[in-house]
Amino acid sequence: MLNGRESLARLIGRRRRSPLIASLALAVSPSSPSRSHQADAGDDAEREATAGSSTGGRDGAGAEWVACPVCGESIRGTDYCVNTHLDICLTRGTKRKLTQSTLLDFSFSKKATADPALNNSDETEHMELTDGNVSSDGAFFSLNSGMVNSKESADASSPGCLHGSPDISETCGTCLSLDTSLQHMENTANNDVVEKCLSHMPSTEATSCTFDARSVTDYSNTVLVDTVVVGRRFHENIELQEGASITLLRDPQNAKDPDAIKVLYAGYECEQMLGYLPRELAKVLAPLLDIHYTECEGCVVGAPEQQLDHVPIQLTCQKCTDKNEIYGDLKHPQFLWKNFIDAVGNGNLQQPSSTRYQTNFSLMIKDVIANHSHLFSDKEKSFLDSFQLLSDGGQRLFVRIYTRKGPWFRMSSISYREISDLGQAAMELKLAGYIDMISSVDDLSNYDLKEVIDVLSVPEMKEILKKLQKNKASCTRRHELLSTLLSLYHSGTCTILPKRILKWIGTCIRTSNVADELLWRVQRLFFLNGDQDLSSFLLVDLGLVRFPVYACTISHRVFQERSDLLQYEEAIQVAQVMDESLDNNNMEMVTRCIELSENRLSTTPKEENATMAEPPPSFFSRFSASWVYPKILTLGVSVYERDRRYTDAIRILKRLLSTVSSDRKRGYWTLRLSVDLEHMNRPNESLSIAEAGVIDPWVRAGSKIAMQRRVLRLSKPPRRWKVPNYVNVVNRNIKEVNIEGRPLNCETGAKNVFYGYDGELCGVEQLALQYYADEGGGWQGTHSEGGIWMTIFGLLMWDVIFSDVPDVFQTKFQTAPLDLETDDFYKSRKDLVESQLKKIQDGMAEEMLISSWELHQGISCRGVNWDRHSLTDLRAAVVCTGGHRLASLLRHLALDYRSWSSGMPDLLLWHFVDERGGGEAKLVEVKGPRDQLSEQQRAWILVLMDFGFDVEVCKVSPVSKRRYV
């Protein structure tokens, strides 16, 4: 893979649909006559990848496999067949509807291990799949004391689908509202910090359950609650009648929600189950029912329009305390009752899912305008403000289509229950400039025909071609049909084709270029990266992600001037064109992007921070054009080297080294320049470059070791007579252990697979673990590479990482401070870091680790992997490593996290030597038959040896036969 491609893709994030700005389009366009935007080379890739910021396009390259929450089958996370798969699971063979339920209409997490008896009941089948153990501590996104998306709100929306598109618009949950209930206030230790971080954010409104305000003027004994029945299995023999009585029954053994409350229909001889109360209501009512402090009864207040719609009901909840009954703490039931009234009466319950995405989309726009208004022109601010003036239907329709792949959607294939009049909403959006609309009377020459044709189904394309090409062999595959239609259009032989296409597709809509460009900017400013998008709201809403508590102390904004932002956006666009052109193998456009980036880097104005009263932090440089263009050029160097264009690569590398004075990539640039010069048979210049790299303070870790080794290799007499003083350090002997294994394959380039000691197939790392557990000394261990050390660093340095340092936290969705991968991290927190390291060195690491694990378990933090490493393994690693060695390693990471966050040995081994808890640890780098140590791995091994670790390299060699004892 080309070096730098992955980091460039993360930087780009969600690709923009809108065309390039005029100046950039002119700069990268070929010298041939100008073409319309539908002929641009990058259009195909752009259309392919518009779906999300991190999916990497339609093919889902690099996507993780996830388990279907219904059947458990593995599905690729970015495959757009995921909706179809879930429809089959959820409907259980019923006919597919336009208003289908999709993946994001359901709250799901890891499957809970349920009692088999419970799994056979009708009740559990319709409860939510969300893990109920969501902490209600200080995380900003606590949804009603940590509870997440309710089945009621999912069913309330039952959003429709867009033809051929995945339903991903549930990407905006009520994630940014603080729980104001007293229970949450008691359980949130850092509530004042949370309020400081979110005080400027507007609160959410509306509630999934209405409440009679007359009942909450004082904390009376009777409360009326208007709500609905959700997650129900409709019984055909039950005829719902308005006014029919209902009762409630607790279901504490429910495997998927311990607060579940059944709703029973008392209109028959045997009480029939209608479903459940909404989860957010059950959360505050269940504790009262459990202690028999409340009695509830109610009635059906209306029949549903459709068979499986929600049943509206009204509950009468009355305190029923027995004067003779004694509670352990009298304040406890009174507090629960007060919490119940406050939660319902003050609207703290979650909103229906049909409006959460709308609320949070509006919240994002308001937040950006409030904090970054200086970056928008008056016209742009007026346009964004107009979104708040749209009707609910208009806002909801726009958010729906904005978060989908598209770009075009048929109006006939759109169906949303929460949008009453789609036609009116679409016309409102068109008049406001938020969408483009085409119909049978429009001219398709103004649009990219390929994008328009893409809304047609395969049978429809076949039918069109059948009428246009009689007695000719028809195509069968989609891409063949599409290619044939486009060739007919561009050849000019079929003038009636556009009219035929418009007749078939009817009215279609898409996000306008203006709206797409501005909202791309809004989203970028809100999250400050390309990795996150509106799906972050959804992940929090489902309880799949919890963000840490920290204070947003902001003294400088990331972008000081509008011109800074526009230059940064232009650089991102160049990166996008570069990435798309590589996808399409359009090397002419790739070369133009490299040349443009080289020119922009040379003309980028120097930072004038010295003249400012308060210069912005140095780590803000990552949000500048001068930070993006070097990434493009780094990828360009790899492209040129792949094509053996060493002269061009050398020119760019020299330009980078002379222009960018402080960047971690200087080590890579210097190394590649030295190597390329050697390729050009210029060894003296190559040696000089390597010698300069050795003393460059920005050349670190593996790059520095590589440079030193190059100097030693190239500086033989007569070029150099003096031996460098670091020769003994670099050439230190590294302990090696050789083991043998029976290989399954010996193909060059293929992953090594061996038969393990147990006869099962395994990789070289697993084979080494078996060796060390057996004849290698009885070691326990894990194949973790650097993962376990990153996790230990995050847990032991949690308070340091999320300490209150100005400007390092600018958004609500960060898992690490902005300066973590810079030298500023240690400098700004030196006293805190050293204080923690002193405790670790004094033997308190295990206690600190346990405390941090219990306080923060499940909360996202850069480098911390809660699932891969158990607390038992982490404790063993900390104890057996020893305080002194562990403190040295963590200090090394704190000083330069970015340079040393990769390349650690594959295996961490340990065993206890006495009953008092003393132990030993060993780090092992495992190499297969054809593998060699990388320079980064060599650098880590040498550093660990300096810290006193027992480190060795285990080399696995194949044998034809092996005897087992």
Q: Distances in Å between the alpha carbon of 420 and those of 40, 152, 392?
A: 39, 20, 10
Per residue, the 3-state secondary structure of 64-90, as one string, reads CEEECCCCCCEEECCCCCHHHHHHHHH
The runs of H, that is alpha helices, within 50-165 are 82-91, 116-119, 122-125, 151-157
User: What pLDDT was estimated at residue 75?
Assistant: 56
Q: Could you give the CA distance from residue 800 to residue 836 in angstroms, rounded to a whole number?
A: 8
Give me 644's structure tokens: 């053996």
598 pLDDT higher than 70: yes
Q: Could you give the CA distance from residue 639 to residue 647 in angstroms, rounded to a whole number?
A: 12
159-179 pLDDT, tens per residue?
333 333 333 333 333 333 323
Give me 327's structure tokens: 């509670």
Q: Could you give the CA distance from residue 929 to residue 740 in angstroms, rounded to a whole number?
A: 10
In this structure, of 49-58, 238-247, 599-608, the range with the lowest mean pLDDT score is 49-58
150 pLDDT higher than 80: no
Q: Report CA dihedral (325, 328, 334, 337) to the nearest 10 degrees.
A: -80
Q: For residue 911, give the 3-state DSSP assignment.
A: strand
User: What pLDDT was estimated at residue 440?
Assistant: 74
Going by pLDDT thresholds of 50, 70 and 90, the confidence category of residue 271 is: low
Q: Could you give the CA distance from residue 96 to residue 103 in angstroms, rounded to a whole number?
A: 15
User: What pLDDT was estimated at residue 191?
Assistant: 37
Strand 294-300, strand 210-211: pairing:
unpaired
Per residue, the 3-state secondary structure of 842-875, as one string, reads HHHHHHHHHHHHHHHCCECCCCCCCCCCCHHHHH
Q: Does domain 222-320+331-346 fall into CATH 3.30.70.2330?
A: yes
What letters, b where the CB count within 10 A reaches 16 and e where it falls short, cover 552-591? beeeeebbbeeebbebbbbbbbbbbbbbbbbbeebeebbb
Highest-pLDDT range among 82-86, 610-614, 961-965: 610-614
Task: Kindly tell me the burial class for residue 504, based on how many C-beta atoms sit within 10 Å of its own C-beta (0-12, 13-18, 19 or more).
Answer: middle
User: What pLDDT was estimated at residue 961?
Assistant: 52
4-13 pLDDT, tens per residue?
888 888 888 8
In this structure, of 461-475, 555-569, 843-857, 934-948, the range with the lowest mean pLDDT score is 461-475
In this structure, of 46-55, 581-590, 793-802, the range with the lowest mean pLDDT score is 46-55
Strand 951-958, strand 736-743: pairing:
parallel
Q: For residue 676, give the 3-state DSSP assignment.
A: helix
User: What pLDDT was estimated at residue 530?
Assistant: 86
Would you say 862 and 815 are in contact if contact means Cβ atoms under 8 Å apart?
yes
Region 627-633 average pLDDT: 95
Would you say 522 and 364 are in contact if contact means Cβ atoms under 8 Å apart?
yes
Region 395-401 average pLDDT: 93
DSSP assignments along 507-529, one per residue:
SEEEE-HHHHHHHHHHHHHHHSS
Q: Could you give the CA distance from residue 516 to residue 518 in angstroms, rounded to a whole number?
A: 6
Give residues with Cβ within 8 angstroms of 795, minimum separation 6. 848, 849, 852, 853, 856, 864, 874
Q: For residue 468, give the 3-state DSSP assignment.
A: helix
For residue 318, list its beta bridge partners. Answer: 222, 295
Going by pLDDT thresholds of 50, 70 and 90, the confidence category of residue 276 is: confident
User: What pLDDT was estimated at residue 305?
Assistant: 60
Where do we find the tokens 């603080």? 178
Query: Comparing 760 with 193, which gets the higher pLDDT?
Result: 760
- For 103, which DSSP code? G
What letters, b where the CB count within 10 A reaches 16 and e where it falls short, cover 150-181? bbbbbbbbbbbbbebbbbbbbbbbbbbbbbeb
Would you say 711 and 690 are in contact if contact means Cβ atoms under 8 Å apart?
yes
888 pLDDT higher than 90: yes
Give residues with Cβ within 8 angstroms of 801, minimum separation 6. 794, 816, 817, 820, 861, 862
Residue 545: closest CA among 242, 814, 157, 774? 814
Residue 158: closest CA among 307, 299, 283? 307
Q: Could you give the CA distance from residue 184 to residue 198 in angstroms, rounded to a whole number?
A: 16
Where do we find the tokens 């009480």? 271
27 pLDDT higher than 50: yes
516-565 pLDDT, tens per residue?
999 999 999 999 998 888 888 878 876 778 899 999 999 999 999 999 99
Strand 780-783, strand 409-410: pairing:
unpaired
User: What pLDDT was estimated at residue 351?
Assistant: 47
Q: Could you give the CA distance from residue 585 to residue 82 in angstroms, rounded to a whole number?
A: 29
Where do we find the tokens 């160097």? 637
What residue ranges do the domains of the chain occupy?
5-13+546-604+618-731, 222-320+331-346, 355-532, 735-958
Q: For residue 755, give the 3-state DSSP assignment.
A: strand
Would you say 153 and 204 are in contact if contact means Cβ atoms under 8 Å apart?
no
User: What pLDDT was estimated at residue 420?
Assistant: 84
User: What pLDDT was estimated at residue 540?
Assistant: 82
Strand order in the sheet with 736-743: 761-762, 754-755, 736-743, 951-958, 919-927, 907-912, 780-783
Q: For residue 395, give the 3-state DSSP assignment.
A: helix
Name residue 359's amino acid. Answer: T
Give me 353's structure tokens: 């899912």
Name residue 449's amino acid. Answer: L
In this structure, of 66-70, 399-403, 445-449, the range with the lowest mean pLDDT score is 66-70
Instruction: Provide, rounded to the nearest whole percent, the portion of the chain with pLDDT above 90.
Output: 41
User: What pLDDT was estimated at residue 883?
Assistant: 92
919 half-sphere exposure, CB direction, 13 A CA radius? 20
Q: Distances in Å between the alpha carbon of 746 and those of 715, 821, 858, 906, 929?
A: 37, 40, 41, 22, 9
Name residue 21's amino acid. Answer: I
User: What pLDDT was estimated at residue 814?
Assistant: 94
698-709 pLDDT, tens per residue?
999 999 999 999
Region 630-654 average pLDDT: 95
User: What pLDDT was estimated at residue 118?
Assistant: 33
Would you say 65 and 128 are in contact if contact means Cβ atoms under 8 Å apart?
no
User: What pLDDT was estimated at residue 256?
Assistant: 73
93-124 pLDDT, tens per residue?
433 333 333 334 433 333 333 343 333 333 33
Q: Could you give the CA distance from residue 668 to residue 699 in angstroms, rounded to a whole number?
A: 8
Highest-pLDDT range among 268-277, 467-476, 881-890: 881-890
Topology alike, domains 5-13+546-604+618-731 and 222-320+331-346 = no
User: What pLDDT was estimated at residue 939?
Assistant: 95
Q: Which CATH number fits domain 5-13+546-604+618-731: 1.10.10.60, 1.10.150.530, 3.30.450.20, 1.25.40.10?
A: 1.25.40.10
Region 864-892 average pLDDT: 93
Strand order in the sheet with 435-438: 409-410, 508-511, 435-438
Going by pLDDT thresholds of 50, 70 and 90, the confidence category of residue 679 is: very high
Residue 352, preceding bond cis, omega within 30 degrees? no
56 half-sphere exposure, CB direction, 13 A CA radius? 17
Give me 454's structure tokens: 């893409």
pTM exceeds 0.75: no
Instruction: Provide, rounded to the nearest whole percent, the portion of the chain with pLDDT above 70.
Output: 71
511 pLDDT higher than 70: yes
Going by pLDDT thresholds of 50, 70 and 90, the confidence category of residue 356 is: confident
Q: Could you give the CA distance from residue 787 to residue 803 in angstroms, rounded to a whole number?
A: 23
The total number of residues written for the chain in this structure: 965
- For 168, which DSSP code? -
Strand 409-410, strand 311-319: pairing:
unpaired
For the chain, the average pLDDT equals: 77
Region 81-85 average pLDDT: 51
658-673 pLDDT, tens per residue?
999 888 899 999 999 9
